[in-house]
Structure 1
């Protein structure tokens, strides 16, 4: 249960971000300042965690040597090629943040998170094209459910499409594409390295990219020491630090399939906060759409588990 709760809380942390960003915009801060302060906080926290882990490893090795126990070989050193690869893999998460946060300037947070969640079928499409493999019937059915739920959750059934800002919708969908690329690349980039080290270098790559696109003038003009410090700290904690740590703790014990289901907790948390904190109107029909989207996210894993259960009971090996 503690591992399930760990992954659930990690995903729920992501759901807090859109509300914090809208509040930061309300204080007059710009996109580069918001994303830059977030990644800077995540960068500092990730490297503090990394250095603590290295110190603990060295201490444990010293104790084992003193007690004449052969130390377990744990490779924490990375070549510069591996570091650059991880930094490149971290770039899509920075791009996702830029696109997603910019969409919040044009559309409600409750709609932006729905668009971001289109990564669930976009990722399947990208994999199918890359592997030249047609998705299964279950996946087509799942995508149909996700589309239907999205139309309900976005309010298209009630309002039509005329009330939506085209730029905001495009940015939201592009953030979903970028997030899909991040998921695909991050899992393949130096997987043998401990998640804490991988996360630190990936955040570093994202930070460098954002600082190139948006030079960090807020570090020198005094803005950082105002409300931006609070917003950046909250965004860094809930967006760049806490989720990777909690996922690293829980995912190995519950599996990627269950983690994907629990990861959907980001959606209702974001919609709830946009409704209660930002006072955005979310109708009953839109809430039904959110539930349908959650069902669509969970459906493939639930069907897989049901098949595995039936196969075990009938003695069929898979």
Structure 2
């Protein structure tokens, strides 16, 4: 064995830790929807909850920025402009649409819709980068959206207008997040993963603070229930900063495609937590739709994984 070779057990250990990091990240991200819905039970709106979430997360991202390494080549002014756009239209846009939508629909439905973002990433890549969409991917997309149709048509216990409005808002959030991911793929090599994440989310946090100051009074914060502060603190650290950090570490060990496949468990976790903590439920038809979505998105991710191993 060459002295430069890596022992097999070291590689296996890295793979195991990578899968574990991504799995924990997916679990924490999945819990976000449930904690947001729990906060809404205390008569607060999406702007308040989102602002407090980012306020609790921001110090950790600033610390990440402080400790991260400077890129070897200084980013240009155009790079910084693109990063600001990614933070405003990507992460902030995804967050505010998502939180607005959750005022009208269940956590389970929100997670299923948001989980469609890989299909939107495929479409955006085809539009802006002329990336070809394979026949296999088209079938996976049809399966995913067919599953979503089954989920929608299976809702009979909530007002239809709320379903349409809330679902549309969350879908816009998924579209914004897909755009954020495409932008991050272009900008991370220029800033580094940690610095890009910290800077983009700091920009998104600033947008949240500005929106709060334009639409609410600071005095409202003094009237919030203690439970709201606790829930938002959990959202800020355990459902924002920590899973984002763990996901980065997981991707570093097992790669983005494999991480996407492991993260496919995310909607299932949200469905389980929603049933346990929020008394949400899905009909048999909706469970079938959810399965179609999971399989479809999994097939979209799998070809990329196979291609990278060649």
1:101 aligns to 2:99 (yes or no): yes
With 18-27 and 185-194 compared, the bigger mean Cα shift is at: 185-194
1:6 aligns to 2:28 (yes or no): no
* Greater fraction helix: 2
Aligned-partner Cα distance in 2 for 1:162–1:302: 37
Aligned-partner Cα distance in 2 for 1:182–1:89: 6
1:135 aligns to 2:133 (yes or no): yes
TM-score of the pair, normalised by structure 1: 0.81
Aligned-partner Cα distance in 2 for 1:218–1:161: 34
CA RMSD across the alignment: 2.9
**Cross-structure match for 1:184:** 182
1:27 aligns to 2:24 (yes or no): no
1:46 aligns to 2:52 (yes or no): no
Aligned-partner Cα distance in 1 for 2:218–2:280: 30
1:172 aligns to 2:170 (yes or no): yes
Corresponding residue to 2:52 among 25, 31, 37: 37
TM-score of the pair, normalised by structure 2: 0.83
**Cross-structure match for 2:122:** 124
**Cross-structure match for 1:264:** 264
- Corresponding pairs, count: 291
Structure 2 unpaired stretches of 5+ = 1-15
Q: CA deviation at 1:303?
A: 4.7
Question: SS of the counterpart of 1:16?
Answer: helix
Q: CA deviation at 1:217?
A: 3.9
**Cross-structure match for 2:10:** none
**Cross-structure match for 1:87:** 84
With 8-17 and 131-140 compared, the bigger mean Cα shift is at: 131-140
1:87-141 Cα shifts (integer Å, max 9, x gaps): 3322221221111111111122211222212212111111111123441101101
Q: CA deviation at 1:284?
A: 3.1
Change (3 A) 1:127 1:287: same
Larger C-alpha radius of gyration, 1 or 2?
1
**1:1-318 mapped onto 2 (5 Å cutoff):** 1-51=16-66, 53=67, 75=72, 83=80, 85-91=82-88, 92-152=90-150, 154-157=151-154, 159=156, 163=160, 165=162, 166-215=164-213, 217-218=217-218, 221-223=221-223, 226-303=226-303
Change (3 A) 1:260 1:212: same
Q: CA deviation at 1:256?
A: 1.3
Structure 1 unpaired stretches of 5+ = 58-72, 310-317
Change (3 A) 1:239 1:75: farther
Q: CA deviation at 1:261?
A: 0.9
